[in-house]
Amino acid sequence: MSASRSGIRRLGPRAVLVVLGAALLAVTIVVSVPSDPPGPAVVTNALDRAITTARDKLARRDQDPRTWAELGAAYVEAARAHSDPTYYPKAEAALRKSLAQQADGNGKALAGLGALANARHDFAAARDWGEKAKAVLPDNAEVYGVLTDAYTQLGDTEAATTALQRMLDLKPGVSSFTRAAYEFELHGRVDDARNALDRALADAIDPGDIVFCRHLLGELAFDNGDVDTAERHYDAGLRAVPDAASLLQGKAMVAAARGRTQEALTGFQALVFRQPNLGNLQAYALLLTSTGDLEGAGRQYTIIEQQQKVDADSGANIDLEASLVAVDRGNAAQALELAEAEWARRHPVFVADAVAWALHLNGRDTEALPYTDQAARTGWRNATFLYHRGMILAGLGRKPEAVTALAEALRINPNFSAVEAHAARTTLARLRDAG
């Protein structure tokens, strides 16, 4: 990410691979085709209309590398829009067919393969495809979007900043401003992140872009303890698109934070029926766990296992997400194995935190400490990270530092997790009582 935030407990980065990587990467879709074989389609939105147009075009003339590249980009976008990773193999086939038809100078196909690799969490491949695309299209903003996302996820913050700045220079707009907001937030610059999102919102014309910006503004507010502002953004977005799933998730998150548990449960139940993606499912499972409904939570985790299998079968790497789910289910050994496998591939702060927490849960706090230091290196004001750090420090007997970290976690966002926020408050009180 992947990913998107659960609102009950954040899964990782703000869906970089889903929202910033695939959707906003926007390898400009002039015409796109996302389903095989060609045939009648129900046109429900702009993406579907573009799909129908391109499908008809390719049916008339197969030798068309540009349209095949646009087809691949559309498949990646369709995977995001429908929360359906089964589009990924189709995207790869289309993009590689484009390259087979035009091996030289095919920057669109190269960028599309970079977007696909980001969506599949293969960030090293995304970086490599992006660099190849940059050599062909050195002044294409979308190529730098691929690179920004890949380098961010790999933990190469300097390269990510360089790519982002070039994207902003070439094409300031929703796609680049939202990436800038994430960059700022990752480095603890919350006000700058908010300003960047405000600029993105000002540029948003399409209802989908408006929903996206309102969702990110709401998440930023919620993650920094401002539930009222978060709700205002979710409500404003719902006025643009009344059934936007991301905003309805935000509303359920707000209800949970305000203690309206039944309202939150009802909201998440509707969401997972309509859009059973990992973020919604895990958020619902955690909320059910916090109410003591372990049987209900178990049913959600069974669905998560099924979804993870679909993701893996579609070529996606899910080790980080699977590690976090293993934590929730109390499988510390599996959580550590998966987190360490992901750390072997990349070193962003959110993977460092996952390794640190898994080590802690396995009783290995001394080994966890360097990883929690790594998780803090960019200055991200992340309540979950601080909670994990506080618990690790407490396990090492470093009480004053543990108190500081836990208190700061709750100060930043007292609602960072339905489960872990309670543990943070309990542990903080115990440490303070112990002097």
CA end-to-end span of the chain, whole Å?
40
Cis ω before 37 (30° cut-off from 0): yes
CATH code, residues 1-137? 1.25.40
| pLDDT given at position 39 | 32
| pLDDT given at position 8 | 40
| pLDDT given at position 45 | 67
| pLDDT given at position 119 | 96
| pLDDT given at position 188 | 96
Domains of the chain, residue spans = 1-137, 382-433
| pLDDT given at position 182 | 97
| pLDDT given at position 46 | 72
| pLDDT given at position 33 | 32
| pLDDT given at position 23 | 36
Q: At what angle do helices 332-343 and 349-361 cross, to 10 degrees?
A: 150
Dist. CA 223–CA 243, nearest whole Å: 23
Dist. CA 147–CA 236, nearest whole Å: 32
Is residue 381 classed as helix, strand or coil in its secondary structure?
A: coil
Contact status, residue 425 vs residue 413, Cβ threshold 8 Å: no
Q: What residues in the chain have per-residue pLDDT under 70?
A: 1-45, 435
- Least Cα distance to 91 among 103, 77, 108 occurs for 77
Contact status, residue 51 vs residue 33, Cβ threshold 8 Å: yes
